[in-house]
A = this chain, B = another copy of it.
Amino acid sequence: MDLDSVKRFLEGERVENDEEGKAKESKMANLRHRFLEGFVTKGLKVDLIEPGRVVCSMKIPPHLLNAGNFLHGGATATLVDLLGSAAIYTTGVPHSGVSVEINVSYLDAAFLDEEIEIETKALRVGKTVAVVSVELRKKKNGKIIAQGRHTKYLAPRTKL
């Protein structure tokens, strides 16, 4: 994928402003937000995108809070999955691949409306296996909220 496509993939589809485009866009956007990826990435902004590295920011929304009123561990893991994949896409791999392993260490809580920054770095993108590191930080002081890694298998699932 080229960098613009990865950005659009993360921020949600945005199409040309002609009538047909508009209609298509609102339908796709609606559809998108009914699925887990859209549910979790709603409001995500891409601040920097380059081959092997993506930096995003986000304000913690109410629908991603857990019972303790801070960012849900499952939301963090979904971000590690999704943004990890995005960082792999930026290196120009032909196949998006499937997840092999995900891990996340939870270090601090992020509360409602907190601004967070998410940095994703490709540690290795080989012919068939890619590993990325994902770190969530508080924007105001840089404190780490969570750090994880995502391992993907890049060839078609049938060869796994």
Name the B residues within 8 Å of A124 (CB-CB): 107-108, 144
Report the stretch among A10-18, A21-29, A112-120, A150-158 that lies at the interface: A150-158
User: Cβ of A68 < 8 Å from any Cβ of B?
Assistant: yes
Minimal beta-carbon separation of A130 from chain B (angstroms): 10
Q: Encode A120-145 as 1/0 by CB contact (under 8 A) with B.
A: 00011011110101000000000010
The listed residue (B78, B82, B128, B149) touching A153 by CB distance below 8 A is B128
Instruction: Scan residues 59-109 of chain A and give those whose CB is less than 8 A from a CB of chain B.
Output: 62-68, 72-75, 77-82, 96, 98-109
Q: How far is the CA of A106 from the CA of B100 in the complex (A)?
A: 5
Q: Please, how many residues of chain A have a CB less than 8 angstroms from a CB on the other chain?
A: 53
Name the B residues within 8 Å of A149 (CB-CB): 103, 105, 147
Name the B residues within 8 Å of A107 (CB-CB): 123-124, 131
Name the B residues within 8 Å of A153 (CB-CB): 128-129
Contact A101 B151 (CB under 8 A): yes
Name the B residues within 8 Å of A127 (CB-CB): 159-160
Contact A100 B151 (CB under 8 A): yes
Name the B residues within 8 Å of A37 (CB-CB): 66-67, 72, 74
| Contact A102/B126 with A36-B63, A72-B36 known, Cβ cut-off 8 Å | no
Which 7 A-B pairs give the minimum distances between C-beta atoms?
A74-B78, A77-B77, A103-B103, A73-B99, A107-B124, A73-B81, A99-B106
Question: What would 9 more interface pairs be, CB under 8 Å, given A131-B147, A147-B149?
Answer: A37-B67, A98-B109, A100-B101, A101-B151, A102-B104, A103-B149, A123-B144, A129-B160, A133-B147
